[in-house]
């Protein structure tokens, strides 16, 4: 077990939950985030406040710091070298990447380079970083396997995530840095992002506003509950790859291996809230894919775990949290 873990994007959805899990395991955690305004900064600050209110918060410190800040990150790892890094900071959002590609170039490409350099100079035992199921693009073969070709991203966000994988592999090869990329599949749960379907639909249905439904709700997603994602992150962190078969670099899907249609998600929220959705039907959007579906055999074999929380149970927990957070 690593003693000191640097978690980037600690004010984010997955970052907050990961930091909490590491604290529960006895780690000392440094969390960084630039607190940008892509979505409500108040929600990000509330996540940090929740971490700082924990009984074990004496082992947690938060710094407002951008991963693209080479001098700032360099100084941080020189002054207090981490044993491991969990790199979750990124500019998120498939559709937003079409509107603001430069934000993705700075956060996802420059930021990844800065973190790779930090990992190299700190001599970390393991760098675990967030990739995405979006790297599979429009692949028709289902479920998606880590061995599939991923040469044709259909969004710039996906392109940056695929680039991150190649960048990490090069550093593993050149500097013998154990690094693992995690391809997350449609994560949802308490403290999630307001731009995600589970949040958007729940909020609109509770408020009696229309929801935007693309491609008649027939798109399928491998919705994966946040606790399962974090369990996967933590288990992988404890199992750095070796150079036995080349560079010490690995890739894993982390998904529920059980895709649902968007229509099924909507029906479930209607049942949980007791309210009917008002639907605005729209065509499929640029950058979207028809389906995501994770093959998780490699993860199961490596760390003895795969996500399994049913969508019904995960959404029940999310809607309960959502009502409590908003007081509705």
Q: Where are the alpha helices (DSSP H) in the chain?
A: 13-24, 41-52, 70-79, 94-99, 101-104, 111-122, 156-175, 197-207, 226-237, 262-273, 297-303, 311-326
> Does the predicted TM-score (pTM) go above 0.75?
yes
Write down the pLDDT at residue 119: 98
pLDDT tier, 130 (very low <50, low <70, confident <90, very high otherwise): very high
Q: Which residue has the higher pLDDT, 271 or 244?
A: 271
Indicate the average pLDDT of the chain.
96
Does 145 score more than 70 pLDDT? yes
What are the chain's domains? 4-186+226-256+293-308 (3.40.50.720)
Give tens-digit pLDDT for 173-227: 999 999 999 999 999 999 999 999 999 999 999 999 999 999 999 999 999 999 9
Beta bridge partners of 93: none
Q: What is the pLDDT of residue 147?
A: 96
Q: Is the model more confident about 115 or about 140?
A: 115
Query: What distance in Å separates the CA atoms of residue 172 and residue 126, rounded to the nearest whole number?
Result: 10
The predicted structure's pLDDT at residue 2: 56
CA distance 251 to 129: 10
Instruction: Round to whole Å and give the CA distance between 88 and 32.
Output: 10
H-helix segments, 123-252: 156-175, 197-207, 226-237
Cα(80)–Cα(122) distance, integer angstroms: 9
- For position 244, what pLDDT does the model report? 75
Positions marked catalytic: 157
CA distances to 47, 143, 217, 249, 320 from 294, rounded to whole Å, are: 28, 5, 20, 20, 27
């Amino acid at each position: 077990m690593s003693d000191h873990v640097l978690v980037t994007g600690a004010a984010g959805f997955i970052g907050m939950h990961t930091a909490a899990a590491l604290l529960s395991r006895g780690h000392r955690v440094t969390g960084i985030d630039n607190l940008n305004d892509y979505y409500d900064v108040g929600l990000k600050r509330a996540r940090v406040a929740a971490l700082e209110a924990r009984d074990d918060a004496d082992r947690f410190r938060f710094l407002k710091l951008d991963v693209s800040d080479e001098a700032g990150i360099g100084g941080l790892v020189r002054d207090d070298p981490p044993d491991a890094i969990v790199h979750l900071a990124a500019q998120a959002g498939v559709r937003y990447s079409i509107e603001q590609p430069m934000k993705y170039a700075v956060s996802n490409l420059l930021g990844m380079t800065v973190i790779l350099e930090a990992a190299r100079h700190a001599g970390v035992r393991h760098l675990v970083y967030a990739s995405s199921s979006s790297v599979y693009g429009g692949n028709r073969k289902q479920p998606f396997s880590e061995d599939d070709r991923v040469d044709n991203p259909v969004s710039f966000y996906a392109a940056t995530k695929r680039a991150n994988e190649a960048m990490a592999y090069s550093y593993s090869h050149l500097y013998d840095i154990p690094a693992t990329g995690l391809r997350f599949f449609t994560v949802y749960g308490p403290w999630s992002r307001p731009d995600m379907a589970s949040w958007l639909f729940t909020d609109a249905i509770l408020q009696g506003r229309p929801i935007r439904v693309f491609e008649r709700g027939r798109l399928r997603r491998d919705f994966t509950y946040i606790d399962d994602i974090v369990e996967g992150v933590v288990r992988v962190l404890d199992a750095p790859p070796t150079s036995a078969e080349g560079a010490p670099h690995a890739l894993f899907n982390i998904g529920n291996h059980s895709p649902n249609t968007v229509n099924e998600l909507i029906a479930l929220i209607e049942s949980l809230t007791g309210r009917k959705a008002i639907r605005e039907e729209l065509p499929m959007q640029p950058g979207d894919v028809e389906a995501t579906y994770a093959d998780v055999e490699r993860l199961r074999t490596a760390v003895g775990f795969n996500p399994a929380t049913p969508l019904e149970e995960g959404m029940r927990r999310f809607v309960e949290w959502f009502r409590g957070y908003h007081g509705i």
